[in-house]
Amino acid sequence: MDLKSLYTQIITENSRATHNRHPVIGATNSLEGINPSCGDDITLQFKVENDIIVDAGFIGTGCAISQASASLMIDLIKGKSVDEAKHYIDIFFGMIKGEIKEDEVIDELEDAAALQGIAVVPARVKCAVLSWHTLEEALEGKSGVSDHEASENDDAGSSYEEDGDGLSLN
């Protein structure tokens, strides 16, 4: 099996996985992330005790990439400190933007590194980063609903604008 096939398999399996699709009882943080350009919608919940993310889950709907990304992210951050989660967010955004290319750094993302190839599909970048933006904002103390339009962390070096059929690359 080649690497591209393996990554496709990881994304497909995680988009359907249910182990992280659940509300978190006693959640200390909860934030809904919405991508209005495509309809992806997740509510990320997690519980922090003594600076450790002891549980995390999400509920929501969206494309396979947004759902897989949320599940892969949760697998990565559970049991880690808040600072470690922030470190993973930085690596993920750097990977998507093409600023981080070193395998040993990207490998820190474990299976979430399978989303690296999304960076070359501009219309799908927002799907992949939705849960990561939501986590970043929740860790900063934001609550409620977060509307994720294109930002400097999404663009993988490009700019986007609405063209009526979704996002187009400028």
Mean pLDDT by 10 residues, the chain (170 residues): 68 91 96 92 97 97 95 98 98 96 96 91 92 97 70 38 29
In a domain, 96, yes or no: yes
- In DSSP notation, 59-79 reads EEE--HHHHHHHHHHHHHHTT
Measure the CA–CA gap between 9 and 12, rounded to whole angstroms.
5
In a domain, 170, yes or no: no
Burial annotation 47-70 (CB, 10 A radius, 16+ → b, else e)? bbeeeebebbbbbbebbebbbbbb
120 lies in which domain range? 3-152
19: tokens are: 């182990």
In a domain, 73, yes or no: yes
In a domain, 164, yes or no: no
Count structural domains, the chain: 1
In a domain, 166, yes or no: no
In a domain, 74, yes or no: yes
Counting runs of H as helices and runs of E as strands, what totals does the chain give?
Answer: 5, 6
In a domain, 62, yes or no: yes
CB-based contact 51:42 (threshold 8 Å): no
The pLDDT assigned to 142 comes to 85
165: tokens are: 């059929």
The pLDDT assigned to 164 comes to 32
Q: What are phi and psi of 58, to 5 degrees?
A: -145, 155
Domain of 118, CATH number, reads: 3.90.1010.10
Alpha-carbon Rg for the chain in angstroms: 15
- In DSSP notation, 140-169 reads TT--EEEE----TTTSTT--EEE-SSSEEE
In a domain, 157, yes or no: no
Cα 121 to its chain centre, rounded Å, is 15
The pLDDT assigned to 4 comes to 67
The pLDDT assigned to 137 comes to 96
